[in-house]
Chains A and B, each alone.
Chain A
Amino acid sequence: MEHKYNRWIMGTAVGVVAIAAMIDHTRHTLPIAQPNDIVIIDDESDASPCSLDVSPCSLD
């Protein structure tokens, strides 16, 4: 009984976090889709491993 109770608590927690994360995510403006006839030059610099301007482990 206790076992099932704990599973419900964990399931609820995961559900609440998922909803909260999605609310936060959708509050931010997503990029506007470009029409297909426009040639897009994809800037790869943002996808490089060093794209973070400052590491989150050494913030000051």
Chain B
Amino acid sequence: MSSKVTTDQSVVLMITSGIIAFSLFLQYEFAIKQALLFLIGIGLGVTLLHAAFGFTGSWRVFVRKRRGAGVRAQILLIALTSVLFFPLLGEAFPELRANAALAPVGISVLVGAFVFGLGMQFGNGCGSGTLFTVGGGHVRMLIVLAFFIVGATIGTVHLPVWLTLPSLGKISIINSFGWLTALIMQLFVLAVLYAVVRAIEKKRHNDVVQLGAPSDKLFTERLVFGPWTLVWAVVAMALFNLATLLLAGHPWTITFGFGLWGTKLWAAMGGDVSQWAFWQTGYAAKALNGSVLADTTTLMNFGIILGAMLAAALAGKFAPDSKINKADLMTAIIGGLLMGYGARLAFGCNIGGLLAGISSGSLHGWLWLIAGFTGTLVGVRLRIIFKIDKPIEA
């Protein structure tokens, strides 16, 4: 028997009107491309919230309880996105050109991803997780987001110094081996990783949680009101990411927008950003000197938040009851700062660094995964030491 969903109709109406109005505004003020990128963000927000697709919780559950459904879904997402991205980035279709998320394999990524992995366990949300939980109306996550922005802004000030530390430079396995060989190699490694995660879960529990949990709800009912299966989320996110690559010319990324917002805000308050080297050249300079609405990451971030708001209202889950105590406040501030700073050093969060990096064939994405997961291991341990979580049961 399916449980009845109490849709928050007033919020649905307001958000839907807002989405339509803002899309039309973007189309009028810029071009259809900006409106479409915003709508892709809406789609991602709905997907993330309806499937509760997060990295933080699933990594912690895997570390603590050896349950790996979320982690396996993430591996599938990386694999499917790679299948879609590699031919495009390897110029199998020369008429379609796009930029890979290439970044140097160095100390900056190593430290940044570790700090991010640690911070996400305190913040209780990653890059995408913070956005969709804010959209879901979780007030504590607003605090995380605010300090995420502060951390990312400080990160843009310090990044040039970090980049003077040792680095192997940008390494693309697509450029090194050709897109087909590189894709086969990558899928093989991901398959091994998937098998290892599955084996660990099976060993501990003698069973494995399925990614496509059955439901007695109608397909359309589930599609609109949720919850979605992780498999639906994987397919939707990979397709939205492909659409982003084709439209924006780069993979889905989140945290550049946070640094941009913080820097613009600092400048608006009278701060001098003319000495911040990060903002003096390339896309960053263009973004800082233009309208915030011209930045693709900003549009998509706004879309994710509004899309998650819409999904939460449809599911009757918008702005749940919550009280924020002193510990919540402290972990939100620390987590947000660490994630923001770490993401800038690591050339992105779990989306722009990990997912986009690996799916673009950039070796820095793999380094991100190792360092970020190590940071999470430490973060899970610290949560126990600070009595946020109970000790892990054997």
- A contact residues vs B (CB 8 Å cutoff): 2-3, 6-7, 9-10, 13, 17, 20-21, 23-25, 27-28, 30, 47-60
Contact = CB atoms under 8 A, between A and B. Distances in A.
Given A6-B137, A47-B31, A50-B99, A56 B323 contact: no
Interface stretch (B118-126, B206-214, B282-290): B282-290
Given A21-B293, A49-B96, A50-B249, A59 B321 contact: no
Interface string B227-259: 000000000000000000111111101001000
What are the nearest 8 A-B pairs in CB distance? A55-B250, A57-B101, A55-B99, A56-B256, A54-B282, A6-B319, A57-B253, A54-B283
A54 B282 CA distance: 6
Contact of A10 (B100, B137, B347): B137
A7 B318 contact: yes
A60 B364 CA distance: 13
B332 interface: no
Contacts of A2: 321-323
B25 to A, nearest CB: 10
A25 to B, nearest CB: 4
Interface string B329-342: 00000000000000
A53 B287 CA distance: 11
Given A7-B137, A13-B142, A49-B97, A56 B319 contact: no
Contacts of A50: 97-99, 249
Which secondary structure characterizes the binding site on chain A?
helix
B292 interface: yes
Contacts of B347: 57-60
A17 B146 CA distance: 12
B104 A57 contact: no
A58 B142 contact: no
B286 A53 contact: yes
B142 A49 contact: no
Contacts of B366: none
Contact of A52 (B100, B278, B283, B319): B283
B321 A6 contact: yes
Contacts of A52: 99, 248-250, 283, 296
B38 to A, nearest CB: 12
Nearest to A47: B31
Contacts of A60: 103-104, 163, 347
